[in-house]
Amino acid sequence: MRRVLLIVLLWLGATGVAGAQTPTDDPVATDPPSVSDALADLKSRDFDVKGRAIETIARSGHEQAEALLQALLDRKLVHDRAHDRIVLGEQADGGWALTDPLTGESLGQVDARAARPVIINNRLRERIRNLQAVAALSNANPLARREAAQRLVGTTDPTMLRALRERQAEESNPLVNGAIDTALNIALLRDPGSDLHTRLAAIDAVAGSLEPAVKNVLRDRATQTDAAAERNAAEKALKAIDARAARYETADTIFFGLSLGSVLLLAAIGLAITFGVMGVINMAHGELIMLGAYTTYVVQQVFPQGHEWSLLIAIPAAFLVSALVGIVIERCVIRFLYGRPLETLLATFGVSLILQQAVRLIFSPLNRSVVTPDWMSGALQINPVFSLTYNRLYIIFFALAVFLTLLTVLKKTRLGLQVRAVSQNRITARAMGIRSERVNALTFGLGSGIAGIAGVALAQLTNVGPNLGQAYIIDSFMVVVFGGVGNLWGTLTAAFGLGIANKFIEPLAGAVLAKIMVLVFIILFIQRKPRGLFPQRGRAAEDS
């Protein structure tokens, strides 16, 4: 009996070991999906399958993962039908230039119908952007991390929120932490399982945020909650946000006013010199601005691939072109009309018509566009409601640089000394041996050259056309008269003052009525102070 029992036990043990070793019971380790498999899944018409493929690519850690996701957003990830594969595609010569998405190897070119972009819907696009933002949370640049956190504001995806919490535990930059706090607090306010105390704390934390998602969730809490404390807290937070947004709207208006003022300064500063020194009402000043803008256009046509640095050539070129034309105008027309302001006005008006028609004959009456360099494109985003466009920001600094340069020339050079002497008392200056005719020509050329530089700046803000200067000639005269004829500091103050005043009045009265109101103000002001804010000093000025 013992032998039988031992044999039975041995048989059962052997059977158990054999059963444990059968392939059906042994768990086989499966490899995670590869990027290649995920790319193949993008051929599917099922958006859920594509969504899983996108998740696989994003979490693969592959060096091309970010580029593949961006190519998918840009419709540059295409299905090569001939070989039934997903590749990178660039449209070229009516077809597609194909590239291997993982190795970058060229795969030749196919007909336009032989490939088509991978189709994704808005849900997948939002998913890709969120995945990109999660990846950017680990970027070494704090500005990139902050931007990534801001892109995730409003998300309720548990995966995204977990990534934000993990980043928050390691983050030391206060700006990035603020963006992460905003995203997490909005998620708490949208979580139906959160308690009242948690929601009140979240409302208090986001009360100063200007993110649109914050206002949306606070409006929801103010209208949908049954708790009076939560409703009152949401309404109070909304009022605080609106008050802060109003302050930034005021700052935005001031910025656009400074931008307009910088353009007026560039347009008027040359006129202030010629009008103050020579007493000439130059109605062709706007056309000299136009010539500077067309010079910028011509420089870009000469260097079609160099628009990133062509402005560095256009600035001195525009100065020289407009200055030479100004000297020709002074030598051929104005020198014979000194002391006859009405005849000078009519003569320069005729010159302006000649210059306009010459431009129409050379370039045609159509407007021309000037390419803005990449470093002047875009905007500096301060917060969701306030940004500074780079082109206007650069023009403000450029106008101030031109002003300071001109001021230095007039204060520190021999020409500047002679210009100031002639402007204060022409007769005494001539008695001291100053050749006033030469000073007149050089001064007119200097003012005209600065008008050309103004044209370079305007070419970055608007199209270049034959009537470009006409829009600024009246405003330029208003700036010069209001600031004080011949006084550069007065021109600076008047230009920025009138620019800011225009931008504050425009939302209330409209652009046309705003200009009329400013003109009426200047007329009334001149009645009280005929020589402007900062009158020119000197014997001739005192006698006028």
Q: What are the structural domain ranges in the chain? A: 35-123, 137-225, 253-372+386-473
Query: What is the average pLDDT across 427-455?
Result: 84
- In this structure, of 24-28, 52-56, 145-149, 395-399, the range with the lowest mean pLDDT score is 24-28
State the pLDDT confidence band at 28, using cuts at 50, 70 and 90: very low
Give the model's confidence band at 21: pLDDT under 50 very low, under 70 low, under 90 confident, else very high.
Answer: very low
Q: How far apart are CA 24 and CA 111, in angstroms?
A: 50
pLDDT digits (tens, 9 = 90+) for 259-268: 989 988 988 8
* 283-342 residue pLDDT tens: 888 899 999 999 999 998 888 877 778 888 999 999 999 999 999 998 888 888 877 878
**Contact assessment for residue 113 and residue 105, using Cβ atoms and an 8 Å cutoff:** no
Q: What is the pLDDT of residue 482?
A: 86
Let me know: does 374 contact 308? Beta carbons within 8 Å: yes
pLDDT in tens, 177-206: 888 888 888 888 888 888 888 888 988 888
Q: What span, in angstroms and rounded, lies between the C-alpha atoms of 191 and 183?
A: 12
CA distance 307 to 459: 13
Taking a C-beta distance cutoff of 8 angstroms, is the pair 318, 270 a contact? no
Strand 115-117: give its sheet, edge to edge.
106-111, 95-99, 85-92, 77-80, 115-117
pLDDT at position 536: 62
Express as a percent the part of the chain with pLDDT over 70.
91
Helices (H), 413-510: 414-424, 426-431, 436-459, 470-483, 488-509
Q: How far is CA 399 from CA 252, 320, 377, 481, 501, in A?
A: 19, 18, 18, 19, 19
Backbone φ/ψ region at 113: left (φ over 0), alpha (ψ -120 to 50), beta: alpha
With contact defined as beta carbons under 8 Å apart, do 508 and 330 qualify? Answer: no
The structure tokens 């693969």 sit at 60
